[in-house]
Amino acid sequence: MKIGFLTVALGNTKFEEIIEWAGSAGFEALEVAAWPLVNERDFSSTTIDVDKFDEKHAERIKALLEKHGLIISSLAYYDNNLDANLEKRRAINEHLKKVIDVANLLGVELVGTFIGRDITKSVEENLKEFEKVFKPLISYAESKNVKLMIENCPMVGWQAEEKIGNIFYSPELWREIFRITPSSFGLNLDPSHLYWLGVDYLKVVEEFAERIFHVHAKDVEIKRNMLHEQSIFGHFGTNAHGKSWWIYRMPGLGEIDWPSFILNLRKVGYDFVISIEHEDPIWAGSLDKSKKGLLMGLQFLKKFV
């Protein structure tokens, strides 16, 4: 396996600078952020501007990656592809197509995104919206030799307070979605979300092995005293990503059993990239702190891969 990271952690640092730093630090892969320059998402950045990227840019980036011993594991554009505002939805879907085009230029097989949710509809109704929206997106990706994958983050409170924002958060939903999609559509598996949701992140590896295209390395800390006081419902406002009783951490600083998780991945034949998704507020706030956090994650994960 190769260890990489999602470039969002380094903000809008130039791609060339990220490649040089990552290679010198000992990383082997980059999950490259490709949001629009102007967007409404938190935890987003524009490492590649897909509106201005062409074949000449692609050749230069590929040469630089080779020089520094790196690969691009995937391009990342996690936004609400089922937005209730149809004009916004159209713009997001069209940007996703541009990301797919750039992946094709770079010879990158994977593009990660969210399904999202039409917040005016139930989860069940959104499954119908998913099929309508994603069937042509998956076909478009296939025509460019690209596979789409979804991260399993519930995005609670993204579109409306306390409501699930991404309908891809549980094994039950994965089964239903994979039932109606081809094998070119898969999962960017992140154990941290499953842990605080109460899902066995070790057990899902075997069942969904064929759909695990990519893996995120993000840990989670549970504040047991706060959980006791507030229950699983907690309250919003304390943690930028949701409940007050849990917090995302760098790999090794939370409660994920990384040796067992990585062993289970090996058992089912996964041998691609483990990509650090840095959302640890303790190691954020400056470029220097973010880099230190990423290096801590790299040194921890190297023991198991």
The reply to whether 245 falls in a domain is: no
* Per-residue pLDDT at 239: 47
The pLDDT value given to residue 54: 94
Alpha carbon separation from 114 to 36, 96, 132, 191, 293 (Å, rounded): 15, 10, 15, 16, 25
Using one digit for the tens of pLDDT, what is the confidence trace for 40-63? 777 788 999 999 999 999 999 999
Residue whose token pair is 């483990």: 274
* 248 inside domain: no
Residue 169 located in a structural domain? yes
Query: What is residue 202's DSSP assignment?
Result: T
pLDDT in tens, 247-278: 999 999 999 999 999 999 999 999 999 999 99
- 87 located within any domain: yes
In a domain, 249, yes or no: no
Element (H, E) at 8: none
Supply the pLDDT for residue 41. Answer: 77
- Which residue carries 């801590």 as its tokens? 296
Any domain includes 238: no
The pTM of the full predicted model, rounded to 2 decimals, is: 0.95
Would 291 be classed as within a structural domain?
Answer: yes
Q: Cα–chain-centroid distance for residue 153?
A: 8
Rounded to the nearest 5°, which phi and psi values hold at 274?
A: -110, 115
Q: Which residues pair with 151 in a beta bridge?
A: 188
* Burial letters 151-183, b for 16+ CB under 10 A, else e: bbbbbbbbbeeeebbbbbbbeebbeebbeebee
Return the SS3 of 284: coil
Tally of CB atoms within 10 A around 97: 15
Helix (H) or strand (E) segment spanning residue 210: none
Domain count, the chain: 1
Q: According to the model, what pLDDT value does residue 235 have?
A: 66
> What range defines the domain where residue 112 resides?
2-219+257-301
CATH number of the structural domain spanning residue 67: 3.20.20.150
CA distances for 209 relative to 7, 74, 215, 299, angstroms = 26, 18, 11, 26
Pairing mode of beta strands 246-249, 219-222: antiparallel
Q: What is the mean pLDDT of each run of 10 residues along the chain (305 residues)?
A: 97 96 98 90 88 95 98 98 97 98 98 97 96 98 98 92 92 98 98 96 98 98 87 63 80 98 98 97 94 98 96
**pLDDT on residue 243:** 66
Complete DSSP assignment for 78-111: EEETT-SSHHHHHHHHHHHHHHHHHHHHHT--EE
Sequence-ordered list of residues with C-beta below 8 angstroms from that of 26, at least 6 positions apart, any chain? 298, 302
Q: How far is Cα 105 from Cα 293, in angstroms, rounded to an integer?
A: 31
Domain annotation covers residue 243: no
User: 143 with 103: CB under 8 angstroms?
Assistant: no
Residue type, 177: I
CA dihedral 199, 180, 150, 148 (to 10 degrees): 150
Closest listed residue to residue 254, CA positions, set 203, 292, 285, 293? 293
Structure tokens at 212: 């695990």
Burial class (CB in 10 A: 0-12, 13-18, 19+), 209: middle
